[in-house]
Amino acid sequence: MASRAKSDPAVAKKLLENLQNDLRTLSSESKRRHPEVKEAAETIQLKLRTIVSKNENLITGLIPASSDIVHPFVLGCETKSPKLVHQGLVAVQRLISHEAISTAAADRIITMLWMLMEGGLEELKLLQTAILLITTNSVVQHDALAKALVLCFRLHFTKDSTTINTAAATIKQLVSIVFDRVVAEDRIQTNEPLEPINTDELKAGSRTPPRSLKPCAGDAYLLFQDLCQLVNADQPYWLMGMTEMTRTFGLELLESVLTSYTSVFSKHPEFSFMLKEKVCPLVIKLFSPSLKYRQGLPPAPSPAPVEKPFFPIVMRLLRIVSILIRGYYQLLVTECEIFLSLLVKFLEPEKPIWQRSLALEVLHKLCTQHVLIKCFCESYDMKPHSTKIFRDIVNAVGAFIQSQFMSSPGGPAGQSSNKVPDTQGTPPALVAGLPVGGGVSPQPAFMYRGVWIPLVVSIPSVQSKPVYLEMLDKIDPPVIPDGYGVSLAFYCLLSVVKSVKLLIEGEGDESTKDVDKPHNPKPAVKAPEKTETERVLHEELINSSWCGMLAALSLLLDASTDESATEAVLNSQQAYASLCGHLGMNTPRDAFITALCKASLPPHYTLTILHSQAPGASSPKALTFGRTPSQEAQVGGMEAIERSQVVAVGSPLPTASLPVGAHQGPVMLTAKNIQCMRALLSVAHCHGGILGTAWHLVLTTLQHLVWILGLKPSSNGSLKAGQQISESSTSVITTAVMADLPVLSAMLSRLFESSQYLDDVALHHLIDALCKLSTESMDLAYSNKEPSLFAVAKLLETGLVNLSRVEVLWRPVTAHLLEVCGIKLNIIQQIISIFLSRCLLPWRDDGFNCFRFCQFLGIDKDVVIE
C-alpha cells in the first residue's frame, strides 16, 4: 500500500480525499462540545490544500507536515468521546498504512495511545494501531519504541481475555520485528567506525544501548536485556512503566528470540555476552527448585521449605535449554556442560515422572543430532578433567529404564510408602506371549520381573515434535501415561546408536552399503584412512557409551514382547559389535556378541563360554529383587515363555566342560530366540572379517541352536532336518519353525560360503574357531556321548569355497582332520574323503599327512595319486 501510494497518484489522491472526509466529520462531531477540535480540523483542511498545490508527490509532501496533520485527531482522542476516539484512530491508521508519518508524528501518536490505554478505551484498536505503526516502517525507534512495547505489555495484563490474548500475539510479533530490523541492518554495508566493546558497561546494565552497536541492534539489545531482567523479577532499564510481568510469558519471549535469531547472537559479541552473563545464570537459578525437590523423600533440614517445581516454568526452561544446546553450543561450551548435567540429574528416580519425561524429550532431540554427540565427546569426554557428559547421558537413560522395572517390593519404588511407582501397567492375559480374548490384538510392550510396560510411542523422527514440551497452555503437571518414559528412553538409545554409527562410518556409507552382503575386504574404491584425531574420537565414542548401551539394550531385548522392538534392539547391538570390530576394540565387540549369543539361546541355558564376562562389561541382568539364582532361573524361564511364543522343544547339547546333569530335561526355544539367531547369523555373515576370536562365541552358540532344532550335517557339510525327530525323540518343532528350518540351514551355508570374501587373517580366525569347536565336540565321543558334527561339517564347507587359496588353510584343516579320523563315524569318514578328493594337489605334496590319511581311511595312496 505504501509503495503504491508513493508511485501511484490515484492511491495518493484517494488518501487525500479520505483525510479530508475524516477532518470534516471530526469538525462536525466536535463543533458543539469541543470547539478546539473543530478549529484544529479546519486549520488542517486548509493546510492540505496548500500541500496539494505545492507537491507533485503528495505523500512526500504529507510526511514533513504529518505531526500537524495528526494534531486534530490527537485532540479528538483526548476528549475521550467514543465517536471522536474512533474517528481519530481510523484516520491515524490510514496515515500510518500509507507511510505518511514522520518520527515526530509517531511520537505524538504513541503518546495519544498511551493516554487511551490508561483510560481503558478502545483497547483492541490501540493494539492494531501500535502494531501497524511499528511494522510499516522504522520511524519508531529508541524510547518511543520502548513506550509502544510497554503499552502492549500493559494491555496484556488487563481483565478482558480477548484483549489479553490479542496483546500477547501483538507483543510476540513486535519482538520479532525489533530483531528483524537488526537482521536487515546487518545486511547494509557501512564504513562508519563503531566504538570497541566495553564489557564493564555491559555487565552493569543501562537504559542506553552499547555504543558499539548500530541503532536497530541497540534497541534489540535493550529489549532482550529487559526481558531477562523481568524474568528474573528485577526492574527493567529501558521498558519504563512496566507494572506487571509473568515469568512464563517472559520465558516464551526469550525462547522465541533465541529460536529465530541465532545469527544476531553469533554476529554481535554484545548479544553473546548477554547469553553467557544473563540468560544462562538465569536459567540455572530458576532450575533450583527442580534440583532440590525429591519426590517421596523427607525434605532435608533447612530454614526454608523446599519449593516444589512448577510445571509451566520447568517446561519452558527446558525448551530454552534445548535451544541453547542445539543453537548456541559453540558459544556456550562450559554452560552447556552444566545444562547437560542438569538433564542427567532430572532423570534420577526421586524426581517426578513428568519432570523425567520432559528431560527425556530434550535428550531425544539432542541424541538425534550426530554433530552434537561429536561435540559432547570432544569437549567433555575426551578432556582429562571434564565431566564425561556423553557417557553420563547414555548411563542415565539406561538407569532410567532399569528404574522403571523396579517398582516391585524390594526395589527403590517400594522403599517408601509415599512414592507412587512411575510404572503401574497391568499386563493383559498372555498365553505364549500373545494376548487372549475376543478381539484382542497384541500390544507392543516390555515385561520384566513381573512389571509390564507398554510401548506407547511410535518411533519418532528428527522432525517430530515432543508431547509434553509443547503443552504451553497447561498449568498442572500432566498425567504421564504408562510406558511413555520407557518408550522415549528406548528411542533415545536408538538415536544414540544411529548417531555414533554415522560419526564412525560417515554419511556416505549409509546409502551405498548393502546389509545383506558380506563384508568384502577388497572394495573397488578404498576408503580413506582415518586420521589419528578421528581414530581417537571414534574410540572415545565407543568407550564412553558401550557399557551403558550394552546393559540397557540387553535388558530391553530380554523384556521385549514386540517383534519390531526386538528387531530395533538387535540392529543396535549388531551395529555396536560391527563398529567395535572395525576399530579393533575387542572387549566391547565380544561383549555385544556375547549378548546376542545369550539372547539366541533358551533362558538360563548353561553355557560356560557365555558366562565368562569380558573385563569391564557390566552384567545387563542385574535386577534380581533379592531372589536366589534358582528362583531367578525359574522366574526368567516362565517370563520368557510369556513374552514370546515357544516354537521348538529339544534336548540340550551335552558339553564336556559341564558336570553330568547340568542340563536336565528338554529346553525350549521361543520365536524371539529364532529372531536373535537370525541376527547373530547376520553379524557373522556381514561382518565376519572383524569377528576375530569372537568367532568361537558365535559358532559355539550356533552349534547349540542347531542341536536343539535337530539339524544334522550331511556329507557335503550342509544341515538337514527331520531324521532325528521320531516318535521316540523328545524334540518338538512347531509347523512355523519346521518351514523355517531349510531357510536357517541355507543361511548357515551362506555364512560359511561368504568366508571366501574374508582376508587370510580373518579366515584363519574362522578355521581356528571351527577346529577348536570340533575338538571340544569330539571329546564327547571319547566319553561315549553323541557329539555334534556341526563344526567338522562347516569346516568342510569353508574349505571347499576357499580352494583357490588352499595353501592358507591346508595345514590347520588337515591337522584337525587327522585328529578326528579316529572317531569311527561314517559321516566323518565321508567328510574327510570329500575334502581330500577336492584338494589333490596339496595332498600329494604333503606326503606325511597323505600317508596317515590313507592309513586311517584304508585306501592305497598310490591309487589316489594316480
Q: Is 841 exposed, middle or buried (0-12, 13-18, 19+ CB in 10 A)?
A: exposed
Alpha helix positions (H), 689-759: 695-709, 735-753
User: For residue range 385-410, what is the model confidence (pLDDT) as tens digits?
Assistant: 889 999 999 999 999 999 998 854 33
Q: What is the mean pLDDT of residues 581-600?
A: 95
How many CB atoms neighbour CB 661 within 10 A? Answer: 6
Looking at residue 832, what is its pLDDT? 65
Task: Give the 3-state secondary structure of 21-78.
Answer: HHHHHHHHHHCCCCHHHHHHHHHHHHHHHHHHHHCCCHHHHHCCCHHHHCHHHHHHHH
422: confidence class by pLDDT, cuts 50, 70, 90: very low
665: confidence class by pLDDT, cuts 50, 70, 90: confident
Q: Is 522 exposed, middle or buried (0-12, 13-18, 19+ CB in 10 A)?
A: exposed
Whether residue 853 contacts residue 833, with contact meaning beta carbons closer than 8 Å, is answered with no
Task: Indicate if the alpha-carbon torsion angle 535, 536, 540, 543 is positive or negative.
Answer: positive
Q: What is the mean pLDDT of residues 291-304?
A: 62
* Three-state secondary-structure class, residue 713: strand
Statement: residue 629 has pLDDT above 70: no
User: For residue range 240-281, what is the model confidence (pLDDT) as tens digits?
Assistant: 999 889 999 999 999 999 999 999 999 999 999 999 999 999
826: confidence class by pLDDT, cuts 50, 70, 90: low
AA letter at 507: E
Instruction: Please give the DSSP secondary-structure letter assigned to residue 637.
Output: H
Whether residue 559 contacts residue 404, with contact meaning beta carbons closer than 8 Å, is answered with no
Looking at residue 830, what is its pLDDT? 67
Looking at residue 305, what is its pLDDT? 59
Looking at residue 426, what is its pLDDT? 52
Across the chain, what does the average pLDDT equal? 83
161: confidence class by pLDDT, cuts 50, 70, 90: very high
Locate cell 475524516: which residue?
A: 22
648, containing H or E segment: strand 646-650
AA letter at 271: F
Q: What is the mean pLDDT of residues 842-856?
A: 54
131: confidence class by pLDDT, cuts 50, 70, 90: very high
Statement: residue 626 has pLDDT above 90: no
Distance, CA of 332 to chain centre:
21
605 phi, psi to nearest 5 deg: -70, 130
Statement: residue 418 has pLDDT above 60: no
User: For residue range 693-723, what is the model confidence (pLDDT) as tens digits?
Assistant: 999 999 999 999 998 888 888 766 678 775 4
AA letter at 559: A
Residue 679 CA to residue 675 CA, distance in Å, equals 6
513: confidence class by pLDDT, cuts 50, 70, 90: very low
Alpha helix positions (H), 523-562: 532-559
Looking at residue 261, what is its pLDDT? 97
Statement: residue 798 has pLDDT above 80: yes
User: For residue range 86-128, what is the model confidence (pLDDT) as tens digits?
Assistant: 999 999 999 999 999 999 999 999 999 999 999 999 999 999 9
- Angle, helices 532-559 vs 484-505, to 10°: value is 150
Statement: residue 411 has pLDDT above 50: no
434, containing H or E segment: strand 434-435
CA distances from 562 to 443, 565, 568, 569, 595 (A): 8, 5, 10, 11, 18
Residue 822 CA to residue 625 CA, distance in Å, equals 51
Statement: residue 331 has pLDDT above 90: yes
Return the C-alpha cell found at 865. 595319486
Looking at residue 805, what is its pLDDT? 85
Looking at residue 795, what is its pLDDT? 85
Looking at residue 814, what is its pLDDT? 76
User: For residue range 21-74, what is the model confidence (pLDDT) as tens digits?
Assistant: 999 999 998 888 889 999 999 999 999 998 888 877 888 888 999 999 999 999
Between 14 and 458, residue with greater pLDDT: 14
Statement: residue 831 has pLDDT above 70: no
Statement: residue 196 has pLDDT above 90: no
Statement: residue 581 has pLDDT above 90: yes
Q: What is the mean pLDDT of residues 456-471?
A: 74
Looking at residue 189, what is its pLDDT? 82
Residue 11 CA to residue 17 CA, distance in Å, equals 10
Whether residue 717 contacts residue 660, with contact meaning beta carbons closer than 8 Å, is answered with no
443: confidence class by pLDDT, cuts 50, 70, 90: confident
Q: Give helix then strand counts, H and E, for the chain.
A: 39, 9
699 phi, psi to nearest 5 deg: -70, -35
Residue 787 CA to residue 776 CA, distance in Å, equals 9
What share of the chain has pLDDT > 70, as a percent? 77
Q: Is 866 exposed, middle or buried (0-12, 13-18, 19+ CB in 10 A)?
A: exposed
Residue 286 CA to residue 88 CA, distance in Å, equals 45
Q: What is the mean pLDDT of residues 531-557?
A: 95
Looking at residue 593, what is its pLDDT? 95
Locate cell 536357517: which residue?
A: 744
Between 176 and 521, residue with greater pLDDT: 176
How many angstroms separate the most distant Cα atoms in the chain? 138
Half-sphere exposure at residue 763, Cβ-oriented, CA atoms within 13 angstroms = 27
433: confidence class by pLDDT, cuts 50, 70, 90: very low
197: confidence class by pLDDT, cuts 50, 70, 90: confident
Q: What is the mean pLDDT of residues 821-847?
A: 59
Between 544 and 423, residue with greater pLDDT: 544
Whether residue 34 contacts residue 79, with contact meaning beta carbons closer than 8 Å, is answered with yes
**Least trusted range by pLDDT, from 90-104, 767-781, 828-842:** 828-842
Looking at residue 32, what is its pLDDT? 82
Statement: residue 377 has pLDDT above 90: yes
